[in-house]
Structure 1
Amino acid sequence: MNVDIQSLGTFNQLAHEGAEQATQSMAQMTGIDAAVDVTKITLLDRADIGEELTGQEFVGVQFGFDGVLGGETVLVFDADSADTIADALMPGSSDDPAMAQSGVKEIGNIMMSGFIDGWADYLDSTIDHSPPEYIERTGKDVLPEAPEADEHTQVFVFKSEIEWVGESVNFYIYMLPEYDSLTTAMMEHADTDGDAIPIDKLQTFNEMTTNGTQQAADNVEMMTGIPTDAEVTQISFAPIEDVPKQIGTDTYVGTVVEFTGVPSGYLMVLFDEISAINVAEAMMPVEVEGEGLTDQHKAAIEELGNIMTSGFVDGWANVLQTSVDHTPPRLVHDMGRSIVDPLAAQVGQHQEHAFIIDSEMRTDDIEFSAEIHALPNEQELRAALDDLDVDRADQTDADVEQIFE
């Protein structure tokens, strides 16, 4: 099953416009100034949905929807901000839990009705949705379960992040459509002359990335003695101008390389500052001189970034039976968006949308986490997917020569 790039872009824009309509409805009802920050489509394992919400308390308004497109969607609020939102609609409701829940449900119902109606209008069909259900849970438990798909362990998730202007508060809209109804709708609205992405091979490529992340994690353990596990791996699709927003505004220390071959692009290995210090000191045979992040730490991170990059990219090259080379690592220490922005600008010279490949790794032994972000050239990613034989993908570890026909 193939879905063209234009169709992915159109459906991503649909989700973005729906989120904007929902946000405008909230602003009219409450007077809260908010704006949609970023919308993206993500392909990931069912078990990894909502990992970014871990450890936070949320309230939400959940809906099921059915028709030409079926599935689940939820509007998620930070628990503390929900009272403020309810008070803006019905003053004094924060002192009455029942009234507060009613206010949140009313806001959610109006916001999400507009969101779903926008999809129905575009698809020129009816999409019904269930009455709003108020939910109050921790972390990713606030999200509904993704609809089951017999042949697919990975699912598509539409996520919009809404920023409360002037406040350090974000809201989220998650849409979890049924796999078959989404891909069927995409195919029906595709440009038959467009550049197609084979969806089944995109899933296989995601699995390859998981293996590459585990190889990078194994290299961390080899260099530091710290047992490290690969965590979430996902492929996201978003307009090129939104790519820097995927990384956020936190400060990172890490490395950037350009890789060439099939595919080509850029790859970043990023640590938060505390993780960088901890993992660097685990590599050092002597005590570090100075406080905070020193030149010794940075040199160690540069070395580790090189080893992690090689493990990650070599895994792609082995499976795809191509040569994927990369430049020497360039050390970076800056806000995430500032690191990614010039790379996105380079890639954006040739394409309007981008696939962003994200992986995480962690350890329980010390405070340590690392992220790997790849930004491949869209055309060469398609070429790599075209050559990949999905039927024998499970043999990649045993004999890479059997991957291609």
Structure 2
Amino acid sequence: MKIAINQLEEYNHLASDGARQAARALSQMIGVRMQHDVTGVSLVSDGALEDVFTGRRYVGVQVGLAGGLSGETVLIFDPDAAGRLRKRLESRGSTGTLAGGAFAELGNIMIGGFVDGWANHVGTQIDMTPPTYIEATGTRILPRMTRREASETGVFLFESRLEAVEYDLSVPIYLIPEYEEFVSLLEAQPSHLAVPAQKLAVFNGFADRSAERASGQIAQLTGLDTDVSVSQLRFLSFSDMSAAVGPGRYISVVFELTGLPSGFFIAMFSEASARRVADAMLPDGVDPGGDMTEEAIKELGNIVTSGFIDGWANTLESSIEHTPPELLRDSGADVVRSVQRRLSGNQEYAFTIDTAIEVDDREAEVRLYVLPNTRELTEALAALPPQRA
């Protein structure tokens, strides 16, 4: 079964619209202006879920979906965020406990608005179960169905994040459609750009392996302990990608990729992270000043990129090369926008491998982004022989 790229774009757009409705509902209920920050969809395995939902304790509300769309919708908070939400509800006159009526009402209203657009799109009613309050550690905050499908086929995880404008509160909403049904909704017409669902999973597995390889290369070059904190194959709009990276200033190394598929590879470091990594790469007694830091970061980016795309080319049975490193000191959002302008066709959405690697016990972090040309990636995946799927 083939996944139509235009359908995936449409459902991502619906999730963004639903998140904006949920933000308006939450703003009215707690008296704090909320805004939709970012929406993206990831195809994730059980290992990736464990990376996203680490062994921390969470508070959540689950609402089951049936009818035009089967699956689960989940609001998930860390305990501190849940406590801040409780205080806002109490300040607005709510007498219910966080686990009781007030919180159930909040979940019902937010998630109801979130799925309305999906119901209109599929042309049928989507039924919602009563909200269930849950406290759990790690991936146990997620429905059992999600954990089972993640280990068997992978799951499509729509994540929308709501952020308070002038208050310390972040509210993630996860929509997790039942895998087989959702793939059937995405099924392509013969004339549409599409990729077989099972071959998209091949690319997802490549993302995991490449992230581990990059982490090992950074550890070897710097002598510092490294750990892949998260690596996901995501599909999202460039505007949401820019919002996710944010306005913070980075030292970034950009490589243009040529071959099948073409695209771009970006390695991003905060200025503090760049200095920490450069210090570890340079000989003892050498101060990592501006030029020395830049050269060290370019060298690191060059090696990591080569390892990444060698694995990519082997996976796709293709030939891919990259240009010399281009170093940019700019906001993360501006770097992403500049790359978008250079992609063929100025595409609005992209499959991206989004990897975060912690260096030296979180004293530094490297973010790696692979942004292929969507049409060329789809062609390369579709051309893979069946045994690679």
Query: 2:132 — aligned with what?
Result: 133
Q: Is the 8 A contact 2:37 2:160 kept in 1?
A: yes
Matched, 1:10 2:6: no
Unaligned runs of 5+ in 2: none
Compute the displacement of 1:28 (Å): 3.4
Bigger drift between 155-164 and 358-367 goes to 358-367
Q: Identity percentage over the alignment?
A: 39
Amino acid at match of 2:173: I
SS in 1 for 2:127: strand
1:288 partner letter: V
Partners of 2:99 and 2:179 lie apart in 1 by: 35
What is the Cα deviation at residue 42 of structure 1? 1.0
Q: How does 1:135-154 map to 2 (within 5 A)?
A: 135-136=134-135, 142-145=141-144, 146=146, 148-149=148-149, 152-154=152-154
Deviations 1:154-174 (A, max 9, x none): 211011111222334321110
The corresponding residue for 1:210 is 208
Alignment partner for residue 82 of structure 2, among 63, 79, 82? Answer: 79
Q: Which residue of 2 aligns with 1:237?
A: 235
Encode CA deviations 1:13-44: one digit per residue, 9 max, x unaligned: 22122222222222333433222122111112
User: In structure 1, what is the equivalent of residue 195 of structure 2?
Assistant: 197
**Counterparts of 2:330 and 2:35, CA distance in 1:** 25
Of 347, 350, 371, 1:351 maps to: 347
Q: Is the 8 A contact 2:29 2:89 kept in 1?
A: no
Counterpart residue identity of residue 82, structure 1: L
CA distance in 2, matches of 1:53, 1:266: 28
Letter of the 2:106 counterpart: I
TM-score by length of 1: 0.85
| Aligned positions of 1:144-293 closer than 5 A | 144-145=143-144, 146=146, 148-149=148-149, 152-187=152-187, 190-289=188-287
Q: Judging changes above 3 Å, is the alpha-carbon distance between structure 1 residues 35 and 56 closer, same or farther for their aligned structure 2 residues?
A: farther
Amino acid at match of 1:303: E
What is the alpha-carbon distance in structure 2 between the residues aligned to residue 12 and residue 365 of structure 1?
34
Q: 1:299 aligns with which of 295, 298, 304?
A: 295
CA distance in 2, matches of 1:144, 1:289: 51
Deviations 1:176-231 (A, max 9, x none): 111111111222xx544211122211110121222222332232233223354445
Q: Is residue 2:34 matched to residue 1:34?
A: yes
The separation in 2 between residues aligned to 1:363 and 1:240, in whole angstroms, is 27
Say which SS state the counterpart of residue 315 (structure 1) adopts: helix
- Aligned-pair CA distance for 1:329: 0.8
Secondary structure at the counterpart of residue 361 of structure 1: strand
Residues in 2 aligned to 1:9 and 1:347: alpha-carbon distance in whole angstroms? 17
The alignment of Structure 1 onto Structure 2 pairs a total of residues equal to 385
Q: 1:337 aligns with which of 333, 336, 359?
A: 333
Shift of 1:85: 3.3
Aligned pairs for 1:380-395 within 5 A: 380-392=376-388
Q: Is the 8 A contact 2:226 2:357 kept in 1?
A: yes
The match for 1:112 is 111
**CA spacing shift, 1:48–1:131, aligned 2, 3 Å:** same
CA distance in 2, matches of 1:298, 1:99: 49
1:249-289 deviation digits (Å, cap 9, x = unpaired): 44433311111111111111123344333322222122233
Contact 1:59/1:82 (CA < 8 Å) preserved in 2?
no
**CA–CA separation in structure 2 for the residues paired with 1:71 and 1:276:** 42
SS at match of 2:251: strand
CA contact under 8 A between 2:340 and 2:347: conserved in structure 1? no
* Cα separation, 2, equivalents of 1:391 and 1:328: 35
Q: Post-superposition shift, 1:52?
A: 4.9
- Rounded to whole Å, the distance in 2 between the matches of 1:151 and 1:134 is 24
Indicate how the Cα distance of structure 1 residues 242 and 365 shifts in structure 2: closer, same or farther if over 3 A, else same: closer
2:88 is matched by which residue type in structure 1?
A: I
Task: Indicate if the aligned counterparts of 1:90 and 1:103 stay in contact, CA closer than 8 A.
Answer: no
- Name the amino acid aligned to 1:135: I
CA drift at 1:101: 4.2
> RMSD between aligned alpha carbons?
2.8
Residue 32 of structure 1 aligns to a residue whose secondary structure is coil
Structure 1 unaligned blocks of 5 or more: 394-405
Write the distance in 2 (CA, Å) between the matches of 1:176 and 1:325: 36
The 5-angstrom pairing of residues 56-71 of structure 1 reads 59-71=59-71
**Does 2:321 align with 1:318?**
no
1:99 and 1:42 map into 2 onto residues whose CA distance is: 30
Q: 1:231 to 1:201 in 2, by over 3 A?
A: farther
Change in Cα spacing, 1:274 to 1:16, as seen in structure 2 (3 Å) is same
Shift of 1:366: 7.1
In the alignment, is the contact (CA less than 8 A) between 2:254 and 2:326 conserved in 1?
A: yes
Instruction: Report if the CA contact (8 A) 2:35-2:162 is conserved.
Output: yes
By how many angstroms is 1:10 displaced?
1.2
Are 1:308 and 2:304 an aligned pair? yes
Cα separation, 1, equivalents of 2:330 and 2:55: 26
CA distance in 2, matches of 1:173, 1:194: 30
Contact 2:224 2:360 in 1 (8 A): no
Secondary structure of the residue that 1:24 maps to in structure 2? helix
Query: Kindly tell me: are residues 151 and 299 of structure 1, through their superposed partners in 2, closer, same or farther at Cα, counting changes over 3 Å?
Result: closer
| Alpha-carbon contact 2:2-2:196 (below 8 Å) kept | yes
Tell me, in whole angstroms, the C-alpha distance in 2 between the residues paired with 1:142 and 1:277.
37
Deviates more, 1:323-332 or 1:246-255: 246-255
